């Protein structure tokens, strides 16, 4: 039975040759996209605090009421440079969508 499973010397040699060579594909981009400046509305504000945080919301509609996660990411406290108003902004990781403003 083990004789049937064993590979012939030719097959072993082909497998060892193919595993020795490394394949490193190189893909060229079809088009090059220009870099654009993203406007976050934080340009006229100075950062007072920046920490990682999780945001939860309390869902009282279901029974029993429970806390549900709203997002995980960077929480920033920003002060406007002209009128000195302060606001809290939180953006989710990876998607950078605003989950608290």
Residue 76, domain member (yes or no): yes
Over the stretch 2-49, which tens digit does the pLDDT of each residue have? 555 665 666 665 555 555 677 888 888 899 999 999 888 889 999 999
Q: What is the CATH number of the domain that holds 47?
A: 2.30.29.30
Alpha helices in 1-89 (DSSP H): 2-5, 9-20
Residue 75, domain member (yes or no): yes
Distance CA 54, CA 9 (A): 59
pTM for the model stands at: 0.60
Domain that holds residue 96: 38-101
| Number of domains the chain is built from | 1
Residue 29, domain member (yes or no): no
Residue 1, domain member (yes or no): no
Q: What is the DSSP letter of 5?
A: H
Over the stretch 56-97, which tens digit does the pLDDT of each residue have? 999 999 999 999 999 999 999 999 999 999 999 999 999 999
């Amino acid at each position: 039975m083990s004789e049937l499973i064993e590979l012939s010397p030719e097959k072993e040699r082909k497998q060892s040759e193919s595993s020795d060579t490394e394949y490193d594909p190189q893909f060229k981009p079809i088009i090059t996209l220009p870099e654009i400046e993203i406007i976050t509305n934080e340009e006229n504000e100075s950062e007072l605090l920046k920490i990682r945080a999780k945001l939860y919301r309390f869902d009282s509609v279901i029974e029993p009421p429970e806390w549900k996660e709203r997002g995980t990411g960077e929480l920033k406290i920003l002060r406007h440079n002209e009128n000195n108003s302060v606001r809290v902004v939180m953006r989710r990781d990876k998607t950078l969508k605003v989950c608290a403003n």
